[in-house]
Amino acid sequence: MYLRFAERHGLTARIVDEHRGQEAGIKTVTVHLNGRYAYGYLRSEHGVHRLVRISPFDAEKMRHTSFALVEVLPELESIEEQAIDPKDLRIDTFLSSGHGGQSVNTTYSAVRIVHTPTGITVSCQNERSQQQNRETAFKILQSKLHQRALAEQAEEKQDLRGSYQSAEWGSQARSYVLQPYRLVKDHRSEFETADTDAVLDGELDPFVEAYLKTELSKQKRER
């Protein structure tokens, strides 16, 4: 869905890390998007997405509900206030299974970085060299730590107001229902459409616009 969205908007999309599920599908994937307003468009996608469908992997054709957590992080070239102590990092290398060319499955070019104080883990394996994978993973780690710091500040402010509610799997941002009816609904903006095929094919503009309008109204009320 997001790769098709990138195509529609002339954004470049590059998968930097991907892990397949044990039986089928994708367990985790990291995609680097680059282009005009890329983060502005996709910040509306941050949150838990709920999918209801008849699973193609179920021989009994039962209806299944699954969840995907989407994180949207801006790429930060340098963050002076977000200094990372090298002692807090554990860096592992392993055989790459991505699309890095001739080095795939022959050299330990894939990199995993663990930030021990927070437990945040980032891996990258689709670049051509271990150094490139290390640099990309470190940039992602910086963004995650920066986002975490912003979230903690926002949480502290909400706590002072007495109305903070932590994000949980039950508090999904958007639902995609393909059975027994067809509907995609964003639970923050209340925007919905029955054209599920178009949405899954990357037609997210109405959801982006509705989300931004909702956020703008919220900011005006808070002022």
> 14: helix, coil or strand?
strand
pLDDT tens for residues 154-199?
776 555 444 434 445 567 899 999 999 999 999 999 999 999 999 9
Which pLDDT score is estimated for 77? 64
pLDDT tens for residues 88-116?
999 999 887 655 444 455 578 899 999 99
| Contact by Cβ (8 Å): 72, 2 | no
pLDDT average, residue stretch 61-77 = 85
> 194: helix, coil or strand?
coil
Instruction: Tell me which residue of 209, 158, 203 sits closest to 184, measured CA to CA.
Output: 203
Domains of the chain: 2-222 (3.30.70.1660)
47, 48, 192 from 66: Cα distances, Å: 14, 10, 19
Cα dihedral 34/38/43/48 (nearest 10): -50
The two most distant CA atoms of the chain are separated, in Å, by: 57
pLDDT tens for residues 132-152?
999 899 989 988 898 888 888
Secondary structure of 150-163 as H, E, C letters = HHHHHHHHHHHHCC
| Contact by Cβ (8 Å): 114, 107 | no
Say if residue 83's pLDDT is above 50. Answer: yes
pLDDT band for position 82 (50/70/90)? Answer: low
